[in-house]
Amino acid sequence: MNTFCLSPVDVPGSLYRVQYGDSMTTYDIYEGLEAVDTVTLYDDGGDEQEEDDTLQDFGDAVEQHLSWDTDYESIFISLFSQRRHAENWMLDRHTRFGSSNCTLLQIDTSALHGSFIFRAEEIVHELSLSIPEAAQASVAREYLIAHYIPRRAIIGSQTADEIHAA
């Protein structure tokens, strides 16, 4: 994982999370955001064979996450770098799927020190991952955070209805 890990200073100051009722990521207003799998780590600090195996496993995990594999318990929380894209994605999901409780969360990346942050497009490109065509448009604007986003990093929220009204 370390190969692709970014520092908060290497990402936009704000990222945006679309949180909805049937999301695998849970949101607690007191604790923050939590991926369904908060245990798995892909440590690429071993010997060459271990690094290759870990990189393969990490790539598989990213591919499954970006493919919306519901049989897979992801370590990742998806965030978008552009607010407008996140709003459009949320409103589309709200309209097409009737997703209830859609909320757009603004994340202050300076509060993510110590977090594992990845740029999805870089991983897809470098590891030649295969993702669905429908997901490809979002990947260029998508960041993945492993395991948790603390409450202190969430600096704003808007519901789909509030965004619709604006």
pTM, two decimals, is 0.92
- Residue-wise pLDDT for 95-148, tens only, equals 876 766 889 999 999 999 999 999 999 999 999 999 998 888 889 999 999 999
SS3 per residue for the chain: CCCCCECHHHCCCEEEEEECCCCCCEEECCCEEECCCCCCCCCCCCCHHHHHHHHHHHHHHHHHHHCCCCCCCCCEEEEECCHHHHHHHHHHHHHHHCCCCCEEEEEEHHHHCCCCEEEHHHHHHHCCCCCCHHHHHHHCCEEEEECEEEHHHEEEEEEHHHHHHC
- Look at 8-22, 88-102, 147-161 and tell me which has the smallest mean pLDDT: 88-102
At 47 the pLDDT is 63
User: Domain boundaries in the chain?
Assistant: 2-165
- Residue-wise pLDDT for 49-99, tens only, equals 677 788 999 999 999 999 988 888 999 999 999 999 999 989 888 787 676
* Domain covering 2-165 assigned CATH 3.90.210 in the classification: yes
Q: What is the pLDDT averaged over residues 21-26?
A: 90
